[in-house]
Each structure stands twice: as C-alpha cells, then as structure tokens.
Structure 1
Amino acid sequence: MKEFPDVLVCAIFFGVLLSVFLEKSTSEYEKLELDFLHCRDDSEERTLILAEKNHALLEKQNYEIYNATLKERNRIAREIHDNVGHVLSRSILLTAAVRAVNNDPKTAPLMDSLEDSLNAAMNSIRSSVHDLHDESVNLEHAVDSLIRDFTFCPVGVTYDISDQIPRNIKYCFISIIKEALSNIMKHSNASSVKILIREHPALYQLCFEDNGTDIHYDPAFSGIGLVNMKERVYSLNGTLQISTQNGFRIFITIPKSVNNN
C-alpha cells in the first residue's frame, strides 16, 4: 500500500514534466509557425514590390521607346521636307522655266509628262510628311501644353490612356479641349476645371467639367463651337452629352473600331 503513493507521486511528477515539455514544444512550434508566416508574408510582399517595380520599369521603357519613336518620326519628316521637298520644288521650277523657253513641239509632251511626274512626287512627299507629323503628336503633351497656356483658373487632369490612341481621336480630343477652355474664358465664371481622359476595353472617354454658375445653354441654339464638337464626335460614331447641373459638363465616348485610324 505504501508503494502506491510513491508510484502516484512519480506519475504526477512525470505528468508535470511531460506537460511542461509539451507546453514548451507547443510554444516553440507556434513561434516557428509565426516566424514562417512572417517570412512568407515578407516574401510575398517583396514579390509584389518587385512585380510593381518591374511593371513600372517596363512602362518607363515603353514610354521612352514611344518618345524616341515620335522624335525619330519628326526628324524624318523634317529631313524629307527640307531636303527632298526642296529638290523637287527646284526641279518643278526648272521644268517650268524650260517649258517657257522651249520652242520644239516634239519635246513638249515629254516636258508635260516630266512636270506631271514631279508634281505627283511633290504631292506624295507632302502627304508622307503630313502623316508622319500627325502620328508624332503626343496627346498627353498636347493637353499639357493647352493647360499651360490656360491661365483663367486651375485645371486638374486625369490621364489614363495608352500611347496607341488613333490619330483622328487624338485630334478630336485636342480640338474639343481647346474649344472648351476657350468657351470658359469667354462665357464662364468657373474657378476650377477638371479633365478626364480614359481608355476602356471598348471605348475612349473624355469628360470636361467646370464649376461655373453663369451658364446659359440651350440645345436648340448651340454656338458654332459646340456644333463643331458634336460634328467631330459624331463623325467617329461617338456620343456627346452636355449637363449644366452644378457646373458645365461635357461627357464624350468614342467606340474603338477598325475605322478609327
């Protein structure tokens, strides 16, 4: 009977030791698990940061490539205009001079053909230079330039659009923003302007709004400026909405299509 309490004491002592050991093991396991979770979170955070930096780097590289392309197009356009264009102009003038002093009827058809060819070449050069210049226009830079010249009131811009916007949409947006800013100076008492240019999967969006209160807009008697805006947008199969609640607001959407080049 005396041995039983000794065994019980040993069992209790062993149980306490086992409990302490298990508690310590559990604590160490929880600490290891917590360290693992922290390491995993840190690793995921570093992965996300690295992905963001890579994305920003790619965007910067694409932007630099795009700007370099625009500068090269401008350079080519200038060289064509200054060199080839001047040579053709001089050749056309010389041909006209030769025709004026030429008395041989046999060479007259040849001179006519030569003059027509030179004129055709000149028209082709002009068209090429015009196209190169149009393609080199940067919408964001053009909008920034318009805003810098606008001193009537502060202008905030949200620009979220790719560099590959079609040429006719670029000129449409530039013309509308220019006209809208001009109308504010002429007709509005606005103290702030907001411009939103955004690209969606299926359309391009332009929103122009001010906080002016001196607004007199009648759809039946739109000025030539608003008429021109509507014609530009409608020619691209777009929509234009005008609101005069809490300021003057123009909301434009133009669908993406193969015809918008």
Structure 2
Amino acid sequence: MNRLIDKLAIVLICLMSIVMSDSFTAPVIVTLATLTVSAAVQLMTGSVLAAVLIASCSLLCGVFPLMLCSLPLLLYDALWEKKWWLTVPALTVLTKLNMLSAEQLILTGAAFAVTIIIYKRVSNLEETVSVLTSLRDEVAGKNRQLAEQNLRLAAAQDNEIHLATMKERNRIAREIHDNVGHMLTRSLLQSGALIVINKDEQLKEPLESLKTTLDSAMTSIRESVHDLHDDSIDLKKVLEDSISTVDSRFKVTLDCDVSENIAGNIKLCIIGVVKEGLSNAVKHSKGDRINIIIREHPAFYQLMLEDNGCCTEIKESGIGLKNMSDRAAALKGTISFTPSQEGFKIFMSLPKS
C-alpha cells in the first residue's frame, strides 16, 4: 500500500510536465503506457520480464522524448528491483531534448529528485521495520526460552522440596519408632508384669485399664509410623534406583505417570512387583530390553512390565510369581503373566481404595 501511495505522488508530478505537451493524444498514450508497464513490473517483481519492460520503456525515450517526463515512475520501479541502471537507455533522449520545454525538463528533474528521496525514505523505513521485527522475534524467542527455563527451575525446586519433605517424614517416623515406640513397649511389659505379680484385687482393674490404654496408644503410634513411612516413599525415585542396579546388558525404560497422593500400600505393591519382575528378567530372560509402564486411571492403577526375551511357557510357578500374585490379591487387584515368542509380560491392575 505504501508503494502505491508513493507511486501516485510521483505520477502527479509527472503529469504536470506531460500535460504541457502541445499534442492531445501523446500525453494520454504516454501516461497509459507508463502506468501499464509500472503495474506489470510491480506484479512481476524480480522476474526477467519486469527488467525487460523497464529497459524497453527507457529506450523509447530516444524515440518519443515525452516518455522522459514519465520516466521517474519507472525509475522508482527500477530502484525497487535493485536495478537502477535499467533506466540508462533513456540517455538516448539527450539528442532530442530540444523537443521538450524548459518547464517540462525542470518538472521532470524535480520528479527524479522526489523519486529518489521517496525511495530512500521508504527503503530506510522498511529496513528499520525489518530490523525491529527481527529484534521482536529474537526477544520473543528469548522470552520463551526464559519461560521454559523458569518452568524447569520451578519443577526442580518443587522436586527438591518434595524430596526434603519425604526425608523429614522418614526421620520423624524413625524418631517415633525408636523413642516413643520403645518406651511404650517397655511400659506394656512393665504393666503386664505388674498385673502378674499384683495380689491386690483393688489394683487389678486399674492395671488392666492401663494396659488397654497402652495397647491402644501403641497401635495408634504403629499406624502413624507406617503412614508416615509409606507417604514418604517416592515411587519414581525408588523405581529408578531399582532400575540402576539391573544388569548392564539390559536397556530399561520407565514410563511412570501417577499422582503424588498415591496410597502407601499401592506404592509398596508396585515397588515389590517391579523389583521381583526385574530380578526374574535378569535371571531368566535372554533379551536385552525391559519396558516398565505405570498408569493411573480414575478408578485403578495399572502396571505393565515386559522384556523381549523369548518365553513360550511358564514351566513352574516359582516363589517370585507367587509373591507377586499375593501382593496383588492383598489389595484386591489382579495380575497376569503372559509368555510369548516376543518376551515375557507382567500385567497388574490395582483398584483405588
């Protein structure tokens, strides 16, 4: 659009000199011819035909001197084509300058000057816009990289906080178990001994009540310790640690997609089955790849562990397979073992409590 506006300004200056011609038809023909060629050149920017059209019209100036008055418009197109020298053939008009009036030559010279000034202004403006666009794109790219880096840092920080929380829960569980648990155990033993040696019937009931209270406290402490310990288990980290101990001939991949609030007994079951499955694969599989996939669904969890070693049948139900079955059954889940030519697959499904 800016280029069309600039060309309109140039055309108006050219018309001022063209209309000074004594002829009536020549200005119309020259104007229409120049406008047509200029429009064609703009449509075919960068083509050989565009360059030929500009050079041909420039050469016609030597035949029709009035064409010189419209040449600034073609010079503008030539400058955009980066081929200003295409207007050089117009110098052939020098032998016929006497056919143009002084006013026409002055206006034509002014048109040439305006054309060059407009081109310089617009080209510099477009260059500036191009630079600013590049800077904008670069800044946008940097902002995206910074946002991604911030997300990574936030994720790493959250992970560190999570691990620190898990360690603190483990420490508290150990403290309760080692200190309070032992003290309650000693108190239970002492109360039991007192009940045995007591001969006073009036103390029998209070001692029984004390022992019951201590039993209840011990049960509550035990449950709390188990809950703290189970919650402090980082499922993915434990699995990764287990994978790191697998024989180097296996390439093990882990795809674990579960939430952090998974129940402790579910975690322990998955960890136990994965460890047993990895151990069996190392002992019996002749493959070199193990894939582990863990998924959380709205109502249940799924585990799939498979290797690529050839296994057509399960020769015997070893203790390892039985342990895995018992773990799944204890949580009302199901587990299956599928041997095939492509490998051995363990598939377990555990309902959410």
Please tell me the TM-score bracket, short chain as reference. Answer: 0.7 to 0.9
Contact 2:296/2:302 (<8 A) preserved: yes
144-153 or 72-81, larger mean C-alpha shift: 144-153
1:244 to 321, 325, 340: 340
Bigger Rg over Cα = 2
- Among all aligned residue pairs of Structure 1 and Structure 2, give the percentage whose two residues are the same amino acid: 36
1:170 counterpart = 2:263: no
Alignment-derived partner of residue 286 in structure 2: 189
Q: In 1, Cα distance between the equivalents of 2:185 and 2:327?
A: 37
Gaps of 5+ in 2: 1-21, 23-97
Counterpart AA for 2:138 = D
Contact 2:250/2:287 (<8 A) preserved: no
Alignment-derived partner of residue 93 in structure 2: none
Contact 1:193/1:208 (<8 A) preserved: yes
Task: Please report how far the alpha carbon of residue 18 of structure 1 lies from its aligned counterpart in structure 2 after TM superposition.
Answer: 2.1
Q: Within 5 A, what are the aligned runs for 1:20-169?
A: 20-151=116-247, 153-161=249-257, 164-167=260-263, 168-169=265-266
The Cα offsets for residues 112-165 of structure 1, whole Å up to 9 and x where unpaired, read as: 111111111111111111111111111122112222332263233334546614
Q: 1:121 to 1:202 in 2, by over 3 A?
A: closer
Q: In 2, Cα distance between the equivalents of 1:196 and 1:145?
A: 16
Alignment-derived partner of residue 277 in structure 2: 180
Number of residue-to-residue matches in the alignment: 255
Contact 1:161/1:199 (<8 A) preserved: yes
Q: 1:43 to 1:238 in 2, by over 3 A?
A: farther
Counterpart AA for 2:186 = R
Contact 1:158/1:195 (<8 A) preserved: yes
Alignment-derived partner of residue 92 in structure 2: none
Q: In 2, Cα distance between the equivalents of 1:189 and 1:68?
A: 40
- TM-score, normalization by structure 2: 0.62
Contact 1:156/1:195 (<8 A) preserved: yes
Counterpart AA for 1:101 = I
Contact 1:74/1:133 (<8 A) preserved: yes
Structure with larger RCO (C-alpha < 8 A, sep 6+): 1
Contact 1:240/1:253 (<8 A) preserved: no
Structure 1 vs Structure 2 CA RMSD = 3.3
195-204 or 156-165, larger mean C-alpha shift: 195-204
Q: 1:249 to 1:44 in 2, by over 3 A?
A: farther
Q: In 1, Cα distance between the equivalents of 2:312 and 2:116?
A: 84
Counterpart AA for 2:192 = A
Q: Which has the higher helix share?
A: 2
Counterpart AA for 2:262 = P
Counterpart AA for 1:173 = I
Q: In 2, Cα distance between the equivalents of 1:199 and 1:6?
A: 90
Gaps of 5+ in 1: none
Contact 1:147/1:155 (<8 A) preserved: no
Q: In 2, Cα distance between the equivalents of 1:77 and 1:137?
A: 12
Contact 2:287/2:307 (<8 A) preserved: yes
**Matched residue SS, 2:253:** strand
Q: 1:204 to 1:17 in 2, by over 3 A?
A: farther
Task: Please report how far the alpha carbon of residue 22 of structure 1 lies from its aligned counterpart in structure 2 after TM superposition.
Answer: 2.2
Counterpart AA for 2:155 = E
Contact 1:160/1:197 (<8 A) preserved: yes
